[in-house]
């Protein structure tokens, strides 16, 4: 076959070298690669590719040297697909590099120009290189206009200015052919500094150049936030508010006209390329509400004074701040494991951040850690604050008092081993809060091993809302699935939580939705208790109070309990550079990922991993330095992590007593020493106390802890013995508020993951002692539950 081919040529007849090059291009592209090509082909009934065939292509990735693109092209070739068809598909796909592989060899573009972002004053270079059987000529265009003097392979613009930003393309001519390169976008950032005529080369790494700035606006004004990074290819942007991605906010500049109080919050931007990701600083945007005030007798005043804006507190109810503590206990040491709490906490975290809540989300806390976390939360409840506390895990209820069970509770457990909900409520009532919401997603069966009687007197207040996932003396169910699931309560709550309605109205509608759910009808029902006399809603705007008060400082520290250290680049003496990045599943679960971004050309083998973590942390060596997030147990966060890295998951950060120090180990082999063992280099890294570790939840329980308000006759808590006294008071001292003023990093992220089985776990209670003699909370999802599965649901004692 000749070096050129007719468009009617079957792709099964293409030369091996052409197929190999085409597959390399399609395999490496995550956006315009073989998966997207398969979707396009599937829309053409002549060459339809089924989902089973696509799965076969995916399995080729697991083979040594396997190419999913080659498998897909062979399937298309078997169905008679021609070069003309494939060219049309690649044109629709927008993969010009792959399309070039099918071009006749008398004119071929070997080097395509790449998009780039650079600083104003730097030199700009775009390159396009082509070969042909005759002389090749070049002409560069900016949009549709020819670039003067742009008739060489390299387009060089000295000291690029803002006017040079835009889209560029190169036309390549020979005697008998004409081709266009791919488009290249040029973004020029103006940072207000002149860099002269010196040429600053771009090594492809992202470099943050413009940080967004905090803003204080009035309702009705326009919000303008800007950030910027330089790099090649051009960075991608995604703005977030309260750690939740904003729809259609994918440009450097974020513009929101006519802002409302709901637009207030903490903003940051995620900047990424194909191999890197970084975050801008997180900035505060506050919105002061404005209302129209009409003069009662306009005829007695000037027309200009008839209507005007009054910059004062609105008539609508508002919060001075919004804070939330979410606890999900699932990995119990002495009791059955749970599944849904992890997903429930993740879902609620994202929703509450959309409502401008400062959220701390924690998994698997011991008794002392739960008490300290609740104490920190109670310190935030000041006048006008909206506070929300959510708990999912094991629990029970005796004589109208509910108890939350920590992960280290013994079997059987008693009130002294658990947190009394009513004792926490009593402390909440002592605050002048605007709204207190307590959501309990746990079992409320009687605990026959605990014969203590309550001794708690609650006073009447008008700002408390209780939401129980199930009724008194009832159990909740966990219907397992092969995918991520929510509990029954959160399954319906998340559909209503963002509604702009009084919180009791929202919960009433959730109760109605749960009542229509066939899987648990007659077995689990939401119970609501409320003393709320005003129309308080979770969507109410925030009008901040005194920014210099201790309450405000503590609130800021609470907000920073989910923030991460900034990513860093480590340089080794051998010439290797490693990108070290961080992400958060929860406020006490950290993900570390490493990526080699530069190595010497003569280094034939290079690998980096992290090790030597503190013994305080729960780190499984088998789940460290894995090639995919899923191998470490990270599932819901995996899509937001950069690819081609090694991932390590660190949980139980609340146990960290000192700053987090670990070792980055590098091993490599050079071509000249191929027969020798790999050479090792190490670097020690200190990232301080990340996430919840800042709050020191590992400390002894304070004297004024919520533990002291739950006094039960006949319980160890009421008449503590010597051992219990030692647990409470050994080494105690006054709270150290100086830690609230620590300087902290300004970057964060969030998500969660988990896997589940295919069984049904109804909770029950046995009167005989043993592993299954305690109440078991269960919860679940279940859009895909079929009738036959629901009918098989039965209550069985554990």
pLDDT value for 192: 56
550: confidence class by pLDDT, cuts 50, 70, 90 = low
Tell me how far apart the alpha carbons of residues 261 and 217 are, in angstroms, rounded to a whole number. Answer: 9
Task: Answer yes or no: is pLDDT of 784 > 60.
Answer: no
Average pLDDT score over the chain: 76
Tell me how far apart the alpha carbons of residues 765 and 370 are, in angstroms, rounded to a whole number. Answer: 25
The 10s digit of each residue's pLDDT in 1-34 is: 344 456 677 887 777 778 888 888 888 877 888 8
Task: Answer yes or no: is pLDDT of 709 > 50.
Answer: no
Contacts of 77 (CB under 8 A, 6+ apart): 10, 11, 12
The helices-and-strands tally (H runs, E runs) of the chain is 14, 42
Tell me how far apart the alpha carbons of residues 717 and 705 are, in angstroms, rounded to a whole number. Answer: 13
Count other C-beta atoms under 10 Å from residue 656's C-beta.
Answer: 24
Residue where the block lists tokens 């079929």: 786
* Degrees, nearest 5: CA angle 437-440-444: 140
Q: What DSSP element (H or E) covers 216?
A: strand 215-218
pLDDT value for 459: 65
Contacts of 439 (CB under 8 A, 6+ apart): 388, 389, 390, 391, 467, 469, 489, 493
Express as a percent the part of the chain with pLDDT over 70: 75
Tell me how far apart the alpha carbons of residues 564 and 584 are, in angstroms, rounded to a whole number. Answer: 8
**Is-contact 680 605, C-beta < 8 A?**
no
481: confidence class by pLDDT, cuts 50, 70, 90 = low
State the average pLDDT over residues 413-442. Answer: 88
Of 84-88, 203-207, 304-308, 398-402, the least confident: 304-308
79: confidence class by pLDDT, cuts 50, 70, 90 = confident
Phi, psi of 268 (to 5 degrees): -155, 165
Phi, psi of 97 (to 5 degrees): -65, -40
pLDDT value for 610: 92
Of 103-117, 291-305, 332-346, the least confident: 291-305
455: confidence class by pLDDT, cuts 50, 70, 90 = low
Task: Answer yes or no: is pLDDT of 36 > 80.
Answer: yes
Most confident range, picked from 80-94, 284-298, 622-636: 80-94
Most confident range, picked from 5-9, 508-512, 513-517: 508-512
Task: Answer yes or no: is pLDDT of 620 > 90.
Answer: no
Phi, psi of 586 (to 5 degrees): -140, 180
State the average pLDDT over residues 731-756. Answer: 34
Please say whether the dihedral angle defined by the alpha carbons of residues 29, 34, 35 and 36, taken in this order, is positive or negative.
positive
State the average pLDDT over residues 219-227. Answer: 89
Give strand ranges (E) for 291-405: 291-294, 307-310, 321-328, 358-363, 385-392, 395-398, 401-404
**Is-contact 716 724, C-beta < 8 A?**
yes
Count other C-beta atoms under 10 Å from residue 535's C-beta.
Answer: 13
State the average pLDDT over residues 716-733. Answer: 36
The 10s digit of each residue's pLDDT in 55-65 is: 555 544 434 34
Known catalytic residues are: 394, 443
Task: Answer yes or no: is pLDDT of 112 > 80.
Answer: yes
**Is-contact 239 272, C-beta < 8 A?**
no
**Is-contact 694 736, C-beta < 8 A?**
no
Which of 355, 365, 364 lies closest to 388, judged by CA? 355
Of 408-417, 679-688, 775-784, the least confident: 775-784
**Is-contact 218 255, C-beta < 8 A?**
no
Tell me how far apart the alpha carbons of residues 124 and 322 are, in angstroms, rounded to a whole number. Answer: 47
Tell me how far apart the alpha carbons of residues 738 and 741 are, in angstroms, rounded to a whole number. Answer: 6
Task: Answer yes or no: is pLDDT of 87 > 90.
Answer: no
Give strand ranges (E) for 442-555: 464-468, 477-479, 527-530
pLDDT value for 325: 94
More confident residue, 394 or 741: 394
Tell me how far apart the alpha carbons of residues 32 and 753 are, in angstroms, rounded to a whole number. Answer: 27
Going along the chain from its start, the domains and CATH numbers come out as 11-102 (1.10.533.10), 107-189 (2.60.40.10), 207-288 (2.60.40.10), 321-558 (3.40.50.1460), 562-695 (2.60.40.3360)
How many CA atoms are closer than 13 Å to the CA of 126, on its beta-carbon side? 34
- Cα–Cα distances in angstroms (integers) from residue 52 to residues 39, 55, 57, 72, in the given order: 13, 5, 9, 12
Task: Answer yes or no: is pLDDT of 731 > 80.
Answer: no
pLDDT value for 400: 81
Q: For helices 34-42 and 16-28, what crossing angle results, to 10°? A: 100
Q: What DSSP element (H or E) covers 57?
A: helix 51-59
Express as a percent the part of the chain with pLDDT over 90: 22
Alpha helices for 240-393 (secondary structure H): 340-354, 367-378
Tell me how far apart the alpha carbons of residues 356 and 192 are, in angstroms, rounded to a whole number. Answer: 33
The 10s digit of each residue's pLDDT in 348-391 is: 998 999 898 999 999 999 999 999 999 999 988 888 899 999 99
Bin 304: left if φ > 0, else alpha if -120 < ψ < 50, else beta: alpha
Residue where the block lists tokens 């008008």: 462
**Is-contact 407 333, C-beta < 8 A?**
yes
pLDDT value for 702: 56
Can you tell me whether residue 69 is helix, strand or coil?
Answer: helix
pLDDT value for 243: 83
Tell me how far apart the alpha carbons of residues 389 and 157 are, in angstroms, rounded to a whole number. Answer: 58
Task: Answer yes or no: is pLDDT of 106 > 80.
Answer: no
Task: Answer yes or no: is pLDDT of 760 > 70.
Answer: no
Task: Answer yes or no: is pLDDT of 541 > 70.
Answer: yes
Tell me how far apart the alpha carbons of residues 407 and 332 are, in angstroms, rounded to a whole number. Answer: 4
Which of 633, 590, 641 lies closest to 754, judged by CA? 633
Task: Answer yes or no: is pLDDT of 446 > 80.
Answer: yes
Can you tell me whether residue 620 is helix, strand or coil?
Answer: coil
Of 167-171, 361-365, 469-473, 705-709, the least confident: 705-709
Can you tell me whether residue 276 is helix, strand or coil?
Answer: coil
More confident residue, 754 or 564: 564
767: confidence class by pLDDT, cuts 50, 70, 90 = very low
Tell me how far apart the alpha carbons of residues 209 and 146 are, in angstroms, rounded to a whole number. Answer: 30
Tell me how far apart the alpha carbons of residues 44 and 85 are, in angstroms, rounded to a whole number. Answer: 10
315: confidence class by pLDDT, cuts 50, 70, 90 = low
Can you tell me whether residue 204 is helix, strand or coil?
Answer: coil
Of 463-467, 604-608, 742-746, the least confident: 742-746
* Degrees, nearest 5: CA angle 702-706-710: 125
State the average pLDDT over residues 625-630. Answer: 84
Task: Answer yes or no: is pLDDT of 337 > 80.
Answer: yes
């Amino acid at each position: 076959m000749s070096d050129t081919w007719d468009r009617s040529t079957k792709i099964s007849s293409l030369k091996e070298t052409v197929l190999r090059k085409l597959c390399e291009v399609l395999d490496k592209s995550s956006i315009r690669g073989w998966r997207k090509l398969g979707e396009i082909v599937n829309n053409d009934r002549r060459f339809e590719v089924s989902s089973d065939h696509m799965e076969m292509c995916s399995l080729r990735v697991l083979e040594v040297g396997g190419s999913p693109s080659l498998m897909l092209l062979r399937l298309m070739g078997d169905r008679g697909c021609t070069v003309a068809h494939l060219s049309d598909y690649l044109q629709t796909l927008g993969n010009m590099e792959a399309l070039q592989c099918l071009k006749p060899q008398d004119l071929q573009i070997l080097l395509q120009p790449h998009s780039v972002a650079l600083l104003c004053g730097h030199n700009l270079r775009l390159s396009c290189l082509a070969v042909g059987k005759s002389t090749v000529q070049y002409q560069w265009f900016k949009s549709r206009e020819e670039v003067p003097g742009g008739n060489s392979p390299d387009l060089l613009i000295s000291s690029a200015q803002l006017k040079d930003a835009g889209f560029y393309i190169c036309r390549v001519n020979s005697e008998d052919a004409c081709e266009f390169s791919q488009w290249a976008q040029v973004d020029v950032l103006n940072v207000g500094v002149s860099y002269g005529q010196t040429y600053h080369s771009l090594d492809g790494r992202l470099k943050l150049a413009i940080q967004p700035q905090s803003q204080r606006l009035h309702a009705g004004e326009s919000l303008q936030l800007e950030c910027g990074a330089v790099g090649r290819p051009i960075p991608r942007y995604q703005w977030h508010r309260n750690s939740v991605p904003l729809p259609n906010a994918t440009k450097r500049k974020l513009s929101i006209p006519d802002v409302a109080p709901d637009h207030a919050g903490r903003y940051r931007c995620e900047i990424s390329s194909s191999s890197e990701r970084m975050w801008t600083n997180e900035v505060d945007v506050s919105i002061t509400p404005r209302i129209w005030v009409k003069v009662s007798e306009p005829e007695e005043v000037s027309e200009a004074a008839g209507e005007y804006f009054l910059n004062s507190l609105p008539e609508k109810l508002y919060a001075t701040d919004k804070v939330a503590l979410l606890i999900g206990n699932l990995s119990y040491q002495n009791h059955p494991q749970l599944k849904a709490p992890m997903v429930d906490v993740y879902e609620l975290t994202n929703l509450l951040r959309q409502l401008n809540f400062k959220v701390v989300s924690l998994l698997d806390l011991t008794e002392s850690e739960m008490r300290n976390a609740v104490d920190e939360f109670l310190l935030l409840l000041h006048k006008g604050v909206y506070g929300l506390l959510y708990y999912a895990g094991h629990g029970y209820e005796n004589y109208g008092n509910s108890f939350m069970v920590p992960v280290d509770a013994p079997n059987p457990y008693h009130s002294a081993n658990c947190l009394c909900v009513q004792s926490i409520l009593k402390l909440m009532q002592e605050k002048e809060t605007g709204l207190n919401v307590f959501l309990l997603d746990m079992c409320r069966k009687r605990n026959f091993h605990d014969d203590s009687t309550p001794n708690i007197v609650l006073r009447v207040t008008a700002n408390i809302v209780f939401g129980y996932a199930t009724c008194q003396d009832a159990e909740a169910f966990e219907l397992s699935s092969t995918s991520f699931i929510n509990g029954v309560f959160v399954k319906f709550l998340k559909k209503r939580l963002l509604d702009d309605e009084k919180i009791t109205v929202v919960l009433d509608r959730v109760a109605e939705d749960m009542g229509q759910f066939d899987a648990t009808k007659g077995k689990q029902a939401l119970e609501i208790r409320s003393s709320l006399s005003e129309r308080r809603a979770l969507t109410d705007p925030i009008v901040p109070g005194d920014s210099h008060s201790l309450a405000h400082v503590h609130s800021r520290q609470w907000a920073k309990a989910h923030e991460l250290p900034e990513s860093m680049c480590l340089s080794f003496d051998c010439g290797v550079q490693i990108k070290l990045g961080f992400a958060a599943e929860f406020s006490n679960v950290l993900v570390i990922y490493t990526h080699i971004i530069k190595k010497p050309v003569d280094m034939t083998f290079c690998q980096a991993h992290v090790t030597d973590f503190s013994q305080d942390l729960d780190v499984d060596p088998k789940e460290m330095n894995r090639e995919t997030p899923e191998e470490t147990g990270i599932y819901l966060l995996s899509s937001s992590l950069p690819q081609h890295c090694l991932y390590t998951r660190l949980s139980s950060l609340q146990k960290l007593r000192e700053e987090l120090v670990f070792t980055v180990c590098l091993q490599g082999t050079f071509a000249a020493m191929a027969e020798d063992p790999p050479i090792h280099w190490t670097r020690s890294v200190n990232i301080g106390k990340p996430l919840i570790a800042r709050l020191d939840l590992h400390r002894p329980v304070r004297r004024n802890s919520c533990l002291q308000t739950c006094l039960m006759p006949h319980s160890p808590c009421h008449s503590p013995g010597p051992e219990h006294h030692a647990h409470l008071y050994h080494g105690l001292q006054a709270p150290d508020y100086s830690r609230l003023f620590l300087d902290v990093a300004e970057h964060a992220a969030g998500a969660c993951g988990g896997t589940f089985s295919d069984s049904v776990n109804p909770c029950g209670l046995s009167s005989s002692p043993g592993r299954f003699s305690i109440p078991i909370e269960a919860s679940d999802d279940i859009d895909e539950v079929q009738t036959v599965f629901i009918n098989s649901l039965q209550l069985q004692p554990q």
